[in-house]
Amino acid sequence: MEIFFTDTFLSLNLENVKNQIADKGYFIIENAVTPGFLKAIEHDFDTAIGLNSTSFNPFYTKVQKNQYYALATSKKYFNYLTHSKIFDISKICLGETFALYNNRYYESYYGATTPWHTDNKDNETATDTLGIVFLMYIVDTFDGETTFVSGSHKWSDEKYYSDQDIHDSHSEEVIQLKRSAGTLLIYDTRLIHKASLIKAKDTIRKTIFFRVDAGVGKGQINIINSAFLKNCDERLRQYLNFGYDPTQTLPKHTFPLIVQKKYLKELLSATSAYLRLRLKKLPSEAIFYVRKQLSPWKKKMLKLFT
Ligand SMILES: O=C(O)CCC(=O)C(=O)O
């Protein structure tokens, strides 16, 4: 059998993992996997957009590359997410019935961050299901690290929190997780957390994120390379939602209004700069006319964003 978890990880005391997650909301283990595993993952996801290709393209945002079809892309990734030790931890934390809810490999670049949030409130109907997230640093992560509010799984009741909410009342509980490659963070989906801002221009943070929830048939659709499935026993079928119709689909990524406003403001200033350039090429009467037409629109937009 392929070896990629270290003895430190394989010999974890499950009761201890469970108790720490119940108490603080998270459990951290450094050197959970071998350097060979990390290299192989980097290699398997070292893809850009393929034109006329049969592989799965990653999805990009301004500051991130996301591979949601990672179970069809990398055998190492598949074996990691379906390892018996992952099942053991899921079982002790969530009970007999649990399944993969969502997963992805991602890279985050300069300027990437997330707001403080919890993961158990994807929409109004998904609230109280128990779930845990396994987040692994594939490279050293000393910039843009995951940050937790320790113990917040016991009291969190919102999807998003502002910096002020956390810094005013919970700054003592904030834990910044600057750690080396191979560190695995396991946390309760109710825990308030965020990815801190990436401050250096040359940082490329590489991460594997997956979430396991109690119950079955929820979350992201799993697209799997059939060649990776060697022994598909009942437990694996359930974990991968074989034959279960999804009762809900994940919502498209939405950002809180405050973040949307920030992006829209950037968009507005980029559009204005572009228009200014184009306008220069028009005769002066036309410039006057266009400016007159645009002025009320711009005022309205600025009012909206400030
Ligand atoms: O990348 C991180 O540190 C956190 C990711 C996260 O919070 C999420 O994807 O929900």
Question: Superfamily assignment of 7-252 in CATH?
Answer: q2cbj1_9rhob like domain (2.60.120.620)
Residue 115 CB neighbours (<10 A): 15
pTM metric for this prediction: 0.81
Name which residue sits closest to atom 10 of ligand 1, judged by CA.
119
H or E, element range at 107: strand 98-108
Name the residue with the closest Cα to ligand 1, atom 9.
Answer: 209
Nearest CA to ligand 1 atom 1: 195
Instruction: Write out the two tokens for 235.
Output: 């437990």
Separation of alpha carbons 261 and 38, rounded Å: 37
**Alpha-carbon 245 to chain mean position:** 24
Query: Could you tell me where the DSSP H helices lie in the chain?
Result: 7-10, 14-24, 35-44, 75-81, 84-94, 163-169, 234-239, 257-279, 284-305
Q: Which of 64, 68, 103, 114 to mutate to test the pocket of ligand 1 (most atoms within 8 A of CB)?
A: 114
Domain boundaries, the chain: 7-252, 258-305
Specify the residue for token string 């359930």.
238
State pLDDT tens for residues 65-81.
999 999 999 999 999 99
**What is the spatial distance between Cα 8 and Cα 29, in angstroms, rounded to a whole number?**
8
Residue 143 has pLDDT above 80, yes or no: yes
Q: Are 156 and 118 in contact (CB under 8 A)?
A: yes
Two tokens, residue 239: 């974990």
Per-residue pLDDT of 247-304, as tens digits, reads 554 444 455 555 556 666 666 666 666 666 666 667 777 777 777 777 777 777 767 6
CA separation for the pair 167, 161 (Å, rounded): 10
State in Å: Cα 195 to ligand 1 middle.
Answer: 6
> How far, in Å, CA of 178 to CA of 203, rounded?
13
Q: DSSP string covering 3-19, please? A: --B-HHHHT--HHHHHH
Out of 65, 160, 209, mutate this one to test ligand 1's pocket (max ligand atoms within 8 Å of CB): namely 209
Atom 2 in ligand 1: residue holding the nearest Cα = 195
